[in-house]
Chains A and B, each alone.
Chain A
Amino acid sequence: MKKIRDYINNADIRKFRFWLQLFFFVIFVFGAYFSIDLGHEIPVLSCGYDRENGGMCYFLPLQHQLARPLDLLFSVASITVLIGFLTFVLWFIVFNKAWCGYACPLGTMQDWLTSLRKIFGIRFSTYNQTQFDKLKKIKYFMLALVILAPILVGMGVLGGEWRTAFCEICPGRMITPLFVGDTSQWTIDFSSKSAMVLTALGMIITGLFIVGSFFKKRFFCFFCPMSAMHYIFSDAALIRLKKDGDKCTKCGDCYNVCDMQIKDIADDVESTNILRDDCTLCMKCVAACPEDDALHVDILNMKVFTSTKDGFAKRMQVNKWEAKDD
């Protein structure tokens, strides 16, 4: 038992993550080729515009479902909406925000861009604390757009082209289909002024996405409405990111490696549930923590992966060293 535990705690998180991310990427982007269809309520930005997807991002069907006239929306006919929502929540509860860190194709693409940058030897950039505090609010606006825009369409306030307003501006729509050879999304829709604006905005955002995530790790995740949606239900999830403040020396190693620049991981020694709204549960913090049991990932209150001195030493390669002739 101890051997299994030690094996997990000493694991090379990076390798594990790379393969898992690749696995989910193949399933979500190319799934239909293998006759895989995981449904339409997946809690990741696995774009529905990719015809061969193996599981569709929940927002696409959600927006269509919400774009009904109000009286229809709040009637029995919307039982399907409720079922869809519950299915989404059930999917989500299993992995919590680890969907972001390990399964989301858009997230995986950003990590690949990061690796590309590292190959070129270019250093990453970060936000300073004030920028960070302002920018992290944007994802809630995005979530509002996802929910309100279709409702307003159903109410007749906005035109039909606003039905899937978020999808119009989401970089996923333009990039994901490229993987199956579909370039049809790279157009500006001239059918109406709003459509033109939205699709043009989409192109710009996609451009920003590519450049931004090249220079900043997980650039888009700061603004992602799916992340905001996740956080609302994260307390109910089975997997949790926990911290034992007594063991924390506030050394800041976790903060240093965090893609999302979450300072609380290092500085908050009172809370036990340390999952914050930006977190992607990539577990880099747990891997980088040099104290025993200060940070750990629990499934149903059982410690599954915990920080250890030995694990740290192995991952940072300080558990062995040979003297060379100086």
Chain B
Amino acid sequence: MNYFAGIDIGSTAIKIAIVDENRALVGQKISASGSMFYKYAQEALKELLKELNIDESDLVYTVSTGYGRKLFKEADENISEITANAIGAREAARGHCEVKTVINIGGQDSKAISLDNDGNVVNFSMNDRCAAGTGKFLDVVALKLEIGVDELSEYHFKSQGTPLPINSTCAVFAESEIIGLLGNNNSVEDIVAGVHYSIAKRIVKLVKRVGIKEGLYFDGGPALNGGLVNAIENEIGKEIFIPEFPQITTSFGAAVLAQESHQYENAI
């Protein structure tokens, strides 16, 4: 049995997905990038193969993606995370909806990708200069409010009043703003909701640059945050499809591409 791996080496985390010949997801792994991400990526891949009882020789094609893609020398091919994300989104939502707009919020960047009817990337916009609107912002907020990142969703839905607007354009300065809000006796719930809407507004601006087309898909770690999803849906005014494992969409896309490339090469 042949297996194919997609390795997404991001700035915060390394995500690995393994698919079989039918492009079904057989296993995944998420670990921290740290500073020696090449080494950690190699180790993570070895570990995952062991966990799944797959022999290294059965792994016939590997595609790397993400910021660190070029350093993963064992990869047979490397592609940009935009293409990988698009492929992954299409495949993950197969049977549910035909994805035409992909929204990704990562640890340190966010992107919007627009696809045509055949799933090709026709346009994309990225925000990779500023942390406000990325996972980093959520980390900072959660830390400041002394709650876990996975608790943010809970707090969001408990919010009673209107979400408090966060005005700072910079995630770092937003910290001080939150202290101010806490000082004015605002509830943590309302602040969390405010943060979510602030991110949502930014994301909508980003998506508008590529055009909002039906078939919306949202992935990246923060997609697990139901409160954030709720805020974005309200701002866009449309329903958004969230995959089962949003963090690995990009690596999954890379793995799917690995299977396609292998098939293509063998067909020649």
In the complex, A touching B (Cβ < 8 A): no
* B contacts, CB < 8 Å to A: none
* A contacts, CB < 8 Å to B: none
